[in-house]
Amino acid sequence: MHDDHACPYCDLAELRRNAFVLENDHCLLSIKPSETGALEGAGIIVPKAHRPTVFDLTPQEWTATQDLLMQARAYLDAVIAPDGYNAGWNVGAVGGQHVMHAHFHVIRIPFISPTIRNVTGLPAPRPEPVSLLLAPLGLNGLCSPFNRSPYYSSIPG
């Protein structure tokens, strides 16, 4: 039997804590404020059962992942209107998978690198996207590390 305590993504209560969450019978999407701001607004979709990689998902879990991805997209499009997304699974350590419980990354673009913006000429970032996401949950205070970033110092509240 798998030791749930050894796997952070088997801890569904932790994934739900202070997060924007969507879930269905088989999977859960969690978007948390980042400690560093490095991947602010990045979410993961995990199967509720422990599956080491995407190749271990059941057909029901594939469908459930797609269902949550489409819900997340609809919500993010409505609230943040990102320019685009990165979405996908890393598999194995050499594939960039650091937690060996399958997790589908949903990263809205931009999640914002000033360097990339300068190179590509993209417009200035919209106001604090995770605050917008978490505002209905009353969790704005969790975004303070991100708000303190000098890059965002000109953005009110």
Interface residues with Zn ion (CB under 5 A) are 7, 9-10, 50, 101
Q: Which is nearer to Zn ion, 101 or 108 (CB)?
A: 101
Q: Is the CB of 48 or the CB of 117 nearer to Zn ion?
A: 48
Q: Please, what is the minimum distance in Å from the beta carbon of residue 33 to Zn ion?
A: 22
Instruction: Extract the tokens encoding 5.
Output: 């305590």
20-23/42-47 β-pairing = unpaired
- Pick the closer one to Zn ion by CB: 103 or 108: 103
- How far is 80 from 60, CA to CA, in rounded Å? 29
What is the rounded distance in angstroms from the CA atom of residue 114 to the CA atom of residue 122? 9
Q: Please state the closest distance from residue 53 (CB atom) to Zn ion, in A.
A: 11
Taking the complex as a whole, the smallest distance from the CB of residue 49 to Zn ion amounts, in Å, to 8
* DSSP conformational letter for 26: S
Nearer to Zn ion, 5 or 118 (CB): 5
For residue 20, give the 3-state DSSP assignment.
strand
Q: Look-up: residue for tokens 């996401």?
A: 133
Cβ 102 to Zn ion shortest distance, Å: 8
Is 130:145 a contact under the CB 8 Å cutoff? no
